[in-house]
């Protein structure tokens, strides 16, 4: 392929590949940020009925608290000759927490998927960049010594054979968590 590419062109192509990959990585990060920002909207849409009902509950509790405080003040005014009210003697609206109903699991699943998608995209770009630059370089390497040097780069299976994971799995005894 690239036997007829001159050394100056190889340098320019290598530079071009790196510049394009840098831009693509920035675009991946931008898309990643957009997707993360969109999670809140997706969760809100999925749980819109719950959100509406919870807001109704909050409004009802606020009305009940206001009515109760009015009744309290009215009762205290009838007995003002025998009792004093202290400042701050109001009944406060109870704090009510929203039931999760899978909301956090859904949000975590979306977040994990988005992070995973970003990781895969960046890895694909890294692979593509390495492959393109390697092809440019390999086509320029003519000596056996140079080609042997490149073959010394280890493969992933050599670096991470997975045997340690298998060893842990094989030696794991359920119930030994003390």
For 24-51, the pLDDT digits (tens) are 999 999 999 999 999 988 888 999 999 8
Instruction: List the Cα angle 37/39/44 in 5-degree steps.
Output: 120
75-112 in b/e burial notation, b at 16+ Cβ within 10 A?
eeeeeeeeeeeeeeeeeeeeeeeeeeeebeebbeebee
Report the mean per-residue pLDDT for the chain: 87
The full length of the chain comes to 178
> How is the chain split into domains, by residue range?
7-143
Q: pTM of the prediction?
A: 0.62
Contacting residues for 85 by C-beta, under 8 A, at least 6 apart: 73, 76
Describe the chain by its helix, strand, coil percentages, rounded to 5. 75, 0, 25
């Amino acid at each position: 392929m690239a036997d007829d590419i001159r050394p100056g062109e190889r340098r320019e192509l290598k530079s071009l590949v790196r510049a394009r990959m840098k831009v693509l990585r920035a675009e991946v990060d931008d898309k990643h940020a957009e997707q993360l920002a969109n999670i809140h909207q997706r969760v809100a849409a999925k749980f819109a009925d719950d959100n509406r009902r919870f807001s109704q509950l909050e409004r009802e509790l606020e009305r009940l608290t206001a009515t109760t405080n009015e009744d309290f003040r009215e009762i205290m005014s009838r007995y003002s000759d025998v009792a004093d009210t202290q400042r701050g003697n109001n009944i406060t609206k109870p704090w009510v927490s929203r039931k999760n109903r899978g909301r956090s699991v859904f949000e975590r699943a979306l977040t994990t998927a988005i992070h995973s998608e970003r990781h895969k995209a960046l890895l694909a770009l890294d692979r593509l960049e390495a492959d393109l630059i390697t092809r440019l370089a390999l086509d320029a390497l003519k000596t056996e010594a140079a080609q042997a040097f490149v073959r010394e780069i280890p493969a992933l299976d050599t670096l991470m054979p997975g045997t340690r994971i298998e060893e842990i799995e094989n030696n794991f005894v359920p119930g030994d968590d003390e």
